[in-house]
Amino acid sequence: MKDLLHGNILLIICVAFYLLWWILAFMPHHKLPPLLTAPIICFAGAIGLVGGYIELKAMSSLTLSRSLIGGLPLIGIGVIVYLTLMLVSGFVLKRPITTELILIVGWCVLQINYLNVLYGLNHISYTLTLLMMLLIIVIGILSLAAYLYYYQLSDLKSYIDGMIPLILIGITMIATSFITI
């Protein structure tokens, strides 16, 4: 259980540094050069990979007494959702496919599984699990909306739009960390 929380905390740090990078690298009329911002996003990526690894390893090592959804079915749903969104956003809506799409879908899958593990360990109730899973789905939809509108907005609006998913995801992950304690 401790590693589950540690992995989540590392992912929160990843989101914070991703947000910092976004703020500095995409600020309209005051963008810092990539040489100065690249270390920030590289650190965010590295800490995110480590956090994800720790969290996934912890999830796979725990014995659950019950489950709502998790493991392979959830991964399968995530793959189908990602491929569908990639096709719709890229071919139908003509939006360039970027890394953020897989990050949004991957985050939703990881967090839903995180909640499923907490539920399976009898750490949170059925009702709280469903409410938190619904929150994850809503945040995912809002993040997807921000993703889809990004290229249609002016500089300042797209700058703010790009921060919305990171802020919402960060706050949600902090909440899931608190219910883990």
pLDDT (average), residues 108-112: 97
In tens, the pLDDT along 131-162 reads 999 999 999 999 999 999 999 999 999 999 99
CA distances, 70 to each of 60, 66, 74, 76, 108 (Å): 11, 10, 5, 10, 12
The pLDDT assigned to 29 comes to: 87
Say how many domains are in the chain.
1
Q: Which residue segment(s) compose the domain that 71 sits in?
A: 2-180
Residue in this structure with the two tokens 């009329």, named with its chain if needed: 29
User: Of 171, 166, 173, whose CA–CA distance to 17 is shortest?
Assistant: 166
Q: What percent of the chain has pLDDT over 70?
A: 100
In tens, the pLDDT along 74-91 reads 999 999 999 999 999 999
The pLDDT assigned to 181 comes to: 85
In tens, the pLDDT along 28-40 reads 988 899 999 999 9
- The answer to whether 48 and 99 have CB atoms below 8 angstroms apart is no
Q: How far apart are the C-alpha atoms of 112 and 179, rounded to whole Å?
A: 14
